[in-house]
Amino acid sequence: MAVLSVSTCFQTFNLFKCLLLGIQAPSMGRRAAIETVSETETTSNGTNGDGSETRAALTSAQRLAASSAPPEVAPDPFGMEAKHFTELRTLNRDVRIVLEGVDKFNNLIGSVYYPDGESAKDLALELVENGLAKFVEWSANMMEEDAKRRLKTAELQAKKSRLRFWTNYVPPATNSKAIHDQNFTGKVVEVVSGDCVIVADDSVPFGSPLAERRVNLSSIRCPKMGNPRRDEKPAPYAREAKEFLRTRLIGRQVNVRMEYSRKMIDGPTAAPIPGDARVMDFGSIFLLSPTKGDGDEASTTPSTAGGQQPGINVAELVLSRGFGTVIRHRDFEERSNFYDALLAAESRAVAGKKGIHSARDSPAMHITDLTTSNSKKAKDFLPFLHRSRRISAVVEYVLSGHRFKLLIPKETCSIAFSFSGVRCPGRDEPYSEEAISLMRRKIMQRDVEIEVETVDRTGTFLGSLWESKTNMAVTLLEAGLARFQTSFGTDRIPDAHLLEQAEQSAKRQKLKIWENYVEGEEINKGPVVESKQKEVLKVVVTEVLDGGRFYVQIVEDQKIASIQKQLASLNLKEAPVIGAFNPKRGDIVLAQFSADNSWNRAMIVNAPRDGVESPRDKFEVFYIDYGNQEEVPYSHLRPLDQSVSAAPGLAQLCSLAYIKVPSLEDDCGQEAAHYISENTLNSSKEFRAKVEERDATGGKVKGQGTGPVVVVTLVAVDSEISLNAALVQEGLARIEKVRKWDSMERKVALENLEKFQDEARADRRGLWVHGDIESDEEDVLPVKKTGGRR
């Protein structure tokens, strides 16, 4: 820190030392101890009349002190130049000093202004601008925000120009990239977390893939929302931070100032790989029309580039409520242009002990997620949803144009919800994405009202949905992005006449899916494109979960023999001592299958809650090469070598294409599962599995019945008809409903199965024993369920 010795004159001259506020100049070093001794000898010589003994005693004491004194230290680079710079401007001149405080050694700290013509200049700022001093945060906190910002800006410019003190300065390694001048206005369509939102850019046409931009708030960090797929729960106050932003931002117009982007690389030592790293864009978001109370929580501090903020800074709102912290950036790292205002907002929250800065725990939230439960549990909730005609809800996610995940706060549950009688194009069909985009802009994370009519067999609730008293099914139909299906009857659908009018209006204007519509007939939306040759696999069935889901192994997979050989070569020891081997959920181990006492690779699905206490403790395991799942005692587990456990599981989860098979809880569900088991579970029986599609919505394999699903047509090598058709023929399954915008290949497959269904219906087999079955709603949310071992 620059030091000045200053004389003041009131009635007498007084000498005091003043440290310049907010900066530190290069050190002037330390003089040699011998010089100090010589000066002392000269001073003490002659002070006593008798001379030599006193002089000799003082000299000895001083030399002893000099021998223990620190050695000479040379001045820091540019230390002499910094001192000369200050002497030229202040020595023997009248200067103005503004004292701001004292340090822990009781040294006075302040600002010094020296005359320069008609004006006065700030000595600290001049030193920093010329690269002769650096900014220090601790003393700068005594300064006003404007003065502090000028010092920081001057230092950054000196670093970039490599002036004097910064001649050899090398900026710290950073993966950030400036993206200034990418400013835009738009409407907030989704709040991802307390520090991340998705904004629909007004300058990009609706329906474009670039219409929505993910913006991370610059220089702040909020509690993480966690990841349900990895069983990660939200951090304390993460839900509160997200809800705080949702209530203030969803559907509102904002101004976004992009500031920098950064590559996020997995692992602390991972090197950036071009095209492999995830790039995150950071910026500041401003509310153009503040709501009541927002103005009290955020400032209107001008930016570092000058000018006033265009509204209320959202990041300040979050920090003021104690829902986040300010990131302490490295010197040369890009940061928010409103960084000082963010620090001030955080300080207010700390002083007020708000949110994460308080000693209180975040409120506990217990939400029943019916989207991952079985259909029976969903049906049990139906009476509660029928108690009120209309129920308040929040749209958590738009699954498709007509299907949503809703949170019902009053009943503390999340449900899968679909419009009654209204269907949008499927995921792979034209205008599907546009329907999703429209619903995201209209109702995503909005407060809505719903009226539930019923629940289908898969646990999806059917009914009507209103946002601001507008029936959103009408909005879809008017835009030509959905069809109104009257085959189920319209007597229970509110506003059914409005839905019909909306569809007729879209037809007349030939909008979207009706662009090729001709009165009296419906024409395909373009030429039929021949599909690529589908993959056919030779498989054996290893486990049956229910009538429509089963596990297979690919016969020609060379990994099977390799892994079996590795397992056979393992030297199995006695059961490990309790405590020496503690398998946890997700670990791959060696487990002994109870049916034939063979040892196989298995994943721990559930372990004893408090660890292993006795050999009788049961572990639930999933055999990743066969698809079986069972509970085994601790004595039937062994650790597995990493080289063997790292190979992916050989069991592939499959489902039957083009048909709907009842679940185990429904009528004929047990019979369907028994029929599949009898006709497939034979180690020597091979099948040809024609892959119709692959469904990865289940994520990675975590246990029985979960993970990516291959949808197949399964035909025994010695059979003339597929197992899909055989189930339909026995009345144990029914074909999916034909939709008018289905692909030609799908229509042909369903038509081929229809004759088998007609035969079962005529003979009153299985599902048709009491006559026709009322069709369920299609495209429902997949139920996450674990099948039992057969």
Q: How far apart are CA 36 and CA 44, in angstroms?
A: 12
Range with top average pLDDT, 57-66, 242-251, 635-644, 660-669: 242-251
CB atoms < 10 A from the CB of 581, how many? Answer: 14
**DSSP letter string, 720-746:** SS-HHHHHHHTTS-EEPPP-TTS-HHH
What is the pLDDT confidence band of residue 745, given thresholds at 50, 70 and 90? confident
pLDDT of residue 148: 80
Average pLDDT for the chain: 79
Domains of the chain, by residue range, sit at 3-29+74-166, 176-267+276-357, 368-514, 558-645, 652-768
Position 776 pLDDT exceeds 50: no
Tokens in use for 560?
Answer: 């099977």
Which pLDDT score is estimated for 1? 54
pLDDT at res. 394: 95
CA distances from 635 to 116, 168, 604, 638 (A): 88, 65, 14, 8
Pairing of the two strands 13-20 and 108-116: parallel
Residue 348 has pLDDT above 90, yes or no: yes
Compare 174 and 246 and report the one with higher pLDDT: 246
In terms of pLDDT, which residue wins out, 187 or 535? 187
Sequence-ordered alpha helix ranges (H) in 574-683: 642-645, 669-680
Residue where the block lists tokens 């030509």: 480
Q: State how far the alpha carbon of 13 is from the alpha carbons of 19, 364, 498, 598, in Å.
A: 19, 68, 93, 99
pLDDT tier, 579 (very low <50, low <70, confident <90, very high otherwise): low
- Closest-CA residue to 76 (of 35, 28, 121, 41): 28
Tell me: pLDDT of 249 over 50: yes
Q: Return the minimum-mean-pLDDT range out of 19-28, 361-370, 568-577.
A: 568-577
Q: What is the CB-side half-sphere exposure of residue 257 using CA atoms within 13 A?
A: 19
Tell me, what's the pLDDT at 351? 92
Backbone φ and ψ for 651, nearest 5 degrees, come out as -80, 130
Q: Which residues contact 725 (CB under 8 A, 6 or more apart)?
A: 752, 753, 756
Please report where in the chains the tokens 């205008």 appear, as a residue. 431
Instruction: Output the CATH code of domain 3-29+74-166.
Output: 2.40.50.90
Q: What is the distance between the alpha carbons of residues 431 and 428, in angstroms, rounded to a whole number?
A: 9
Instruction: Convert the pLDDT of each residue in 665-718 to its tens digit.
Output: 888 889 999 999 988 887 678 898 999 888 877 666 678 888 889 999 998 877
* Higher-scoring residue by pLDDT: 560, 32: 560
Higher pLDDT, 635 or 788: 635
Is the pLDDT score of 40 beyond 50?
no
Is the per-residue pLDDT at 273 higher than 70? no
Q: CA 196, CA 218: separation in Å to the nearest integer? A: 10
Q: What share of the chain in percent tops pLDDT 70? A: 77
Please give the Cα distance from 98 to 117 (Å, whole number): 20
Same topology, domains 558-645 and 652-768? Answer is: no
Position 489 confidence tier, pLDDT thresholds 50, 70, 90: low
pLDDT of residue 199: 93
The residues facing 471 across adjacent strands are 466
Per-residue pLDDT tens digits for 71-128 = 677 888 888 888 888 888 888 888 888 888 888 778 888 888 888 888 888 888 888 8
- Span between the terminal Cα atoms of the chain, in Å: 79
Q: What does the radius of gyration of the chain's CA atoms come to, in whole angstroms?
A: 37
Pick the residue with more confidence: 760 or 577? Answer: 760
Confidence of residue 501 (pLDDT cuts 50, 70, 90): very high
Between 1.10.1200.10, 3.50.50.60, 2.30.30.140, 3.40.35.10, what CATH number should domain 558-645 receive? 2.30.30.140
Q: pLDDT-derived band of residue 275, with 50, 70 and 90 as boundaries? A: very low
Which helix (H) or strand (E) element contains residue 155?
A: helix 145-161
Give the pLDDT confidence score for residue 565 in this predicted structure: 76
Name, in order, each residue with C-beta under 8 angstroms of 266's C-beta and a sequence gap of 6 or more.
Answer: none
Higher pLDDT, residue 298 or 401: 401
Q: Which amino acid is at 390?
A: R
H or E segment to which residue 715 belongs: strand 709-716
Cβ(726)–Cβ(715) under 8 Å?
no
Instruction: Read off the pLDDT of each residue in 38-56 and give the average, rounded to a whole number.
Output: 45
Q: Alpha-carbon distance 615 to 623, whole Å?
A: 21
Lowest mean pLDDT among 54-68, 106-120, 249-263, 556-570: 54-68
Mean pLDDT for the stretch of residues 533-544 = 86
pLDDT confidence of residue 616: 60
Determine the 3-state secondary structure of 316 from DSSP: helix
Instruction: With H, G, I as helix, E, B as strand and everything else as coil, classify residue 503.
Output: helix
CATH architecture for the domain at 368-514: Beta Barrel (2.40)
Q: Which helix (H) or strand (E) holds 407?
A: strand 403-408
Residue 468, number of CB atoms within 10 A of its CB: 12
Pick the CATH number of 176-267+276-357 from 3.40.50.2300, 2.40.10.10, 3.30.2130.10, 2.40.50.90: 2.40.50.90
What average pLDDT does the segment 560-573 reach? 74
Distance (Å) of CA 279 to CA 193, 225, 282, 601? 17, 19, 10, 38
pLDDT digits (tens, 9 = 90+) for 285-314: 999 876 655 555 555 444 444 445 678 999
Reading the block at residue 591, the tokens are: 């487990």
Instruction: Out of 1.10.10.1100, 2.60.40.1120, 2.40.50.90, 3.40.190.10, select the CATH number for domain 652-768.
Output: 2.40.50.90
DSSP letter for 518, please.
Answer: B
CA distance linking residue 535 with residue 556, whole number of Å: 14
Task: Give per-residue pLDDT as tens, 373-398.
Answer: 777 888 888 888 888 788 999 999 99
Alpha-carbon gap, residue 629 to 591, rounded angstroms: 11
Reported confidence tier of residue 25, pLDDT bands at 50, 70, 90: confident
* Selected residue with higher pLDDT from 503 and 371: 503
